[in-house]
Amino acid sequence: MRDKLNDLASAAAEIATADASRLAELKVSLLGRKAGKLTELLRELPTLSHEERRTLGAQANELKKKIEADIDERERTLATPSGAGADVDGSMPGRQAWRGALHPVTLVVDEICEIFRELGFSRVTGPEAETEEYNFTKLNISLDHPAADAQDTFYVGQGTLLRTHTSPMQARVMETNKPPIRVVVPGQVYRRDAFDPSHSPVFEQLEGLAVDEGLSFVDFKAAIDYFVKRFFTRDTVVRFEPSFFPFVEPGAQVQVQCVMCRGSGCSTCKQSGFLEIMGAGMVHPEVFTRCGLDAERYTGYAFGMGPQRIAMLRYRIPDIRLFFEGDMRFLGQFT
């Protein structure tokens, strides 16, 4: 009995260095209620003589307490981090994972297309490398117009260029679809411009075209008014000013009340209280003719806007170059 006690005491010495799974094993093999070695030993006590029972019983109980205390302590030690991880603060919030987000220009383009979808417009896209014919001639822009000048346009070959606007898609859509036509055309356009806070040699445009019998300037104004109030706020004031583009007659410039000063005049709106957001007008009869539609039968309206400029106004972004720089801190703000 005494030997067994000594054996147990040396077996118990392992507790101090045991890992978690070994510790669990030791706990069962020493203290287990059915087959634990110490339990068995205590069960033998009644068979001993009175004298032995007193001394060995006391020792066995001592050992049991010690083993229990040692196991307890080892469990606690294993539960607290030590070594390399000891200085880790478990209560610190984890590092944030980057979630990924759509580019703000994509978000704005999607939203504009969605608003026009509610008015029956479908979304289409077209080629960025265009011919002079589609980019200029079919739109009633003569090749001696300043816009056609090589100073403003990236030519990629004889008679081919990077489109300077999304308007050539008006011609492509009219040639391949029978009215009624209602399309919006987002896409990139190219101009030999500086890269500065308000210009970029490549930027986004969004063209709109509606053609039908009997469409009037009233339909055009109603569609634009609906768009502006949905995109900005319901109380945004919209203004139509006469303007000139060779492919529309009459031509207009659409302005909204300045989002910065609400019309009272500031540096953003150059004290006018209004900001230009798109060029537009009623499709010029000459454009219908050049695109194969009967100019006597059909009327239509067209408009072109710059989603980057519109995003800049809405989110008060001061510099168009931010859209191109790929800085996640900027781009991640627009989800």
Q: Where do contacts with ligand DAH occur on this chain (CB under 6 A)?
A: 165, 167, 207, 245, 248, 279-281, 302-304
**Is 63 within 8 Å of 8 (Cβ atoms)?**
yes
With the CA atoms of 121, 122, 128 and 131 taken in that order, what torsion angle do they form, in degrees rounded to the nearest 10? -70
- Residue 109: CB atoms within 10 A of its CB come to 23
- Residue 56: CB atoms within 10 A of its CB come to 20
- Residue 272: CB atoms within 10 A of its CB come to 14
Classify 295 as helix, strand or coil. Answer: coil
Residue with Cβ nearer ligand DAH (26 or 171): 171
For 216, half-sphere exposure in the C-beta direction (CA atoms, 13 angstrom radius) is: 2
> Burial of 130 by CB count in 10 Å (0-12 exposed, 13-18 middle, 19+ buried)?
buried
Query: How near is the Cβ of 267 to ligand DAH at its closest, in Å?
Result: 24
Provide Rg for the chain, Cα atoms.
40
Query: How near is the Cβ of 194 to ligand DAH at its closest, in Å?
Result: 17
Query: How near is the Cβ of 325 to ligand DAH at its closest, in Å?
Result: 24
Query: How near is the Cβ of 275 to ligand DAH at its closest, in Å?
Result: 16
Residue with Cβ nearer ligand DAH (173 or 259): 173
Query: How near is the Cβ of 90 to ligand DAH at its closest, in Å?
Result: 58
Residue with Cβ nearer ligand DAH (127 or 332): 127
